[in-house]
Amino acid sequence: MNDATRAFLILLEAAIHAREPSPLPQGLDWIALYALAAEHRVEGLLFTPALQASPEVPGELLLQWQQRAMAITMTQLQMTDTLHTTLAAFEEERLRAVVLKGIVLKALYPEPDMRVMSDADLLVEDSAFDGAKALLSKQGYVEITGDSHEDTYVCAHPDGLRIELHNRLFDRKNRGFLARLDESELFPVSKSVRAEAYGGECWTFPPGEHALFQLLHMAKHMITTGFGLRQVCDFSLFIESNGESIDWEWYARQCGELNLTRFQRALFALCRNHLALKDGAWQSMFGDSLDETDASPLLSDILDAGVFGKSTAERTRSAAVVYRSFDGESGGESRLRTLARAVFIRKDELHPPYMYAKRHAALLPAAWIHRLIRYAFIERRRGGEQGAGLAVARERMALLDKLGMLK
């Protein structure tokens, strides 16, 4: 871990706890630190502790950083207002929309508007799905057709807020936690409760279910491109604030049944060691087995991922390979099997230059041949971007196997 990364973690820990940071390494590469903060969408959070920590921030960067923090504040105020207006419309129509993450977590931060919310995840009953889509349309939202699919309606408001409306939260797979997950039992809309959200109230899940959802959401991203530190900060602050209200025996049992115990332990170790997660009720189930054996590689993967897990083209290209492995059978992933998963992908996973098959399903076999030719050529070169994507996929599969997430 280089000095810029160490300083980034020090500033982030200080920011989420509203305290002055520990001394930073001398001679920092502030440009690299800011780039890492922007990659994880926490540059606004880090502005104040960066000023407190050091007078060495270059003047030009300092001005850029300040302007960015001001822009984040104004944008977040607008998005928060837009979301609450939308939720009020749901209430008027007596449509229950369960809010996940985002606005429910903002208030946990010392500076809530510096916790960036670019979209809102809403869950509705399947029977209310069409009515909810119609309501969003009346509120001025426009569908983003390329991102919508059977279980998720994605739309955007003219003010910039993007909403992902779900009638189910997770895909079904043949392996891993997605094969064991019964979300109709764990996350029924009827289990939601009214709770405070930054700027008002909303329907959301009780603390235990919401903590479990956050874990599952990170795990879902873990089996594609990965996830960034902002989600880890959300989780750490949520546990500090709500830990005493969670039935940890129930939570630990769910982790065990979903085979996510090792992943959860690594996450707690990361939060305790790098984000100053306070001791609490969670230790009764997870506190005796925390070490850096799994936390260190997990932290490295998270740092590399960026906020949406798409920090590099190689990670993005690796996503379909890793995700499709959960459609397969248990066991090791050979080089040939990894290549097959990269080539024979579904229509909804296609990106340029294969969009012709996305528009015309009959051309999907042609796209597979096209991909196979490209991969064969790249494998000969051994230095191409697609080849690098396969290498990232193999590395990430090894980490998932280490964390027990392939079983």
pLDDT (tens digit, 9 = 90+) per residue, 334-388? 555 555 555 666 666 666 666 666 666 777 777 767 666 665 555 444 445 455 6
Strand order through the sheet with 193-197:
142-143, 152-156, 162-166, 119-123, 98-100, 200-204, 193-197
User: Could you tell me the end-to-end alpha-carbon distance of the chain, in angstroms, rounded to an integer?
Assistant: 30
Mean pLDDT of all residues in 313-325: 65
Of residues 269 and 370, the one with the higher pLDDT is 269
Per-residue pLDDT at 308 exceeds 50? yes
Query: What burial class does residue 352 get, using C-beta atoms within 10 Å of its C-beta: 0-12 exposed, 13-18 middle, 19+ buried?
Result: exposed
203: pLDDT strictly greater than 90: yes
Q: Please determine, for residue 202, whether its predicted confidence score (pLDDT) is greater than 90.
A: yes
Distance CA 106, CA 112 (A): 5
Q: Are 83 and 120 in contact (CB under 8 A)?
A: yes
Domain with CATH 3.30.460 in the chain: 76-205
User: Which residues contact residue 230 at a Cβ distance below 8 angstroms, ignoring those fewer than 6 apart?
Assistant: 40, 41, 42, 115, 116, 307
Cα separation, 32 vs 12, whole angstroms: 15
pLDDT at 406: 80
Local structure of 147: helix, strand or coil: coil
Q: Report which of residues 337 and 392 the model is more confident about.
A: 392
Is residue 91 very low, low, confident or very high in pLDDT (cuts 50, 70, 90)?
Answer: very high
| pLDDT tens sequence across 150-185 | 889 999 999 999 999 999 999 887 778 888 899 999
List the single range of 31-40, 171-180, 204-213, 231-240 with lowest mean pLDDT: 171-180
CB contact at 8 A, 110 and 15? yes
Model pLDDT, residue 323: 65
Predicted local confidence at residue 379, as pLDDT: 47
Please state, in angstroms and rounded to a whole number, the distance separating the CA atoms of residues 132 and 352: 32
State pLDDT tens for residues 115-160.
999 899 999 999 999 999 999 999 999 999 888 888 899 999 999 9
Structural tokens at position 347: 């229509």
Contact in structure between 378 and 387 (CB atoms under 8 Å): yes
Class of domain 76-205: alpha beta
Is residue 85 within 8 A of residue 47, CB to CB? The reply is no
So what's the pLDDT on residue 199?
Answer: 87
Q: Identify the pLDDT of residue 54.
A: 72
What is the rounded average pLDDT of the residues 282-287? 81
Angle between helices 207-222 and 261-274 (to 10 degrees): 100
Average pLDDT, the chain: 85
Residue 362, amino acid: A
Higher pLDDT, 216 or 353: 216
Structure tokens at 329: 């059978």
Return the pLDDT at 146: 82
Look at residue 209 in the predicted model and tell me its pLDDT.
Answer: 97
Percent of the chain with pLDDT over 70: 80
How far is residue 217 from each of residues 212, 234, 270, 392, measured CA to CA in Å?
8, 12, 17, 21
